[in-house]
Structure 1
Amino acid sequence: MATYAIVDDGLTGPWDTVLGDVASDWEAADPGLEPGNGGGLAARRSLETAVILCLMSDRYATVEDGRADEDDPRGWAGDGFDVRADLGEAELGSHLWLLRRQALTAETARRAEDMAHVALRPLIAQGAFARIDAVATPDPEQAQLLLAIAGYGDAGDQLYDRKFALLWAKEGPR
């Protein structure tokens, strides 16, 4: 089973979506950092949260997409009734979860890059980034696929740079 981790995060403080070894969660707002957000959720790192939600949420997949069976559709229920294409919205998440049964090869890395681009496309449509680069590198020895994401603004300035490690079970794909 694939899980996700941050590689070399370089952040000095927490972000809105806290990515753990297997799952993500939100954190409560710190009254000292966000005095007008008492009792709310932290809202300081919107780009980080948007990228994590796009990449690490399991997007709905059909059997044709590579889902192994009909009993594991995954996906965000809201996509069935609340996707506004006119606002640049699309289904939430990525198909990266479908790679968990694949061997760590150059073809798997290419598919991960394609899946990342599709998942992050709404952030371009909504104007958060002008361009996003995704580079995946398989590392079978460490049982992981490194996924580097870089996001750029209209002027070509880099707004986002993060590396994720998609981890495979040491005994091989399932």
Structure 2
Amino acid sequence: MSDISSFWDIERLVADWREGKGDLINGNDLQTAIIISLFTDRVARDDDVIDGDDRRGWWGDLGEEHNIGSRLWLLRRKKLDQSVAQKAEDYVREALQWLITDGVVLSVTVATQIVYPRQLNLVISYQKPGSRDDTDMRFFWVWE
């Protein structure tokens, strides 16, 4: 059975579920896995700078070698510049590494682009096993 299909709602800048004929649509498990990997808050590392004491993360990750989610949440209060764009790429690669390790995809490529003054574009390309073509997912954030 497939998972519930998640998608990135560009207008609202959030992930959501698709509905159809009075029910949630299922399918596109890889897209859903990527959205969960990116937009679930991974616990901050000991060397991450955070505001306050909340290191976030999922309680089920305590003591685990691999954590769910990404550290993109750490960038929310940063000034948008090239170093933030580079950190976003690094955090996305870290969050999606499990897809390569588990053989779900052959490769993941991440690229960011700053659209001054307040937008960060993110393009993720991945290649599924047995496919010659890459599939792209695109996201953007507006800095306040």
Equivalent residue for 1:135, pick from 100, 105, 111: 111
Larger radius of gyration: 1
Corresponding residue to 1:80 among 62, 68, 72: 62
Unaligned 5+ segments in structure 1 are: 1-14, 32-38, 170-174
Instruction: Report how many aligned residue pairs link the two structures.
Output: 139
Which residue identity is paired with 1:139?
V
2:16 and 2:77 map into 1 onto residues whose CA distance is: 25
Matches within 5 A, 1:14-163: 16-20=5-9, 21=12, 23-27=14-18, 42-62=25-45, 64-70=47-53, 72-80=54-62, 83=64, 90-141=66-117, 143-154=118-129, 157-163=132-138
Cα deviation per residue 1:42-80 (whole Å; 9 max; x = unaligned)?
43110110110111111111462122220x222122212
Higher RCO (CA-CA < 8 Å; seq separation 6+): 1
8 Å contact 1:150–1:158 — kept in the other structure? no
**Which residue pairs with 2:143 in the alignment?**
168
Whole-Å separation in 2 of the counterparts to 1:122 and 1:27: 25
Query: Identity percentage over the alignment?
Result: 31
Q: How does the TM-score come out when normalised to structure 2?
A: 0.81
The answer to whether the Cα contact below 8 Å between 1:133 and 1:151 also exists between their aligned partners in 2 is yes
1:34 aligned partner: none
As a proportion of its length, which structure holds more strand? Answer: 2
What is the TM-score with the length of structure 1 in the denominator? 0.68
Give a deviation string over 1:74-126, Cα, whole Å, max 9, x none: 21222126x5x6xxxx2111111111121111111111111100000011111
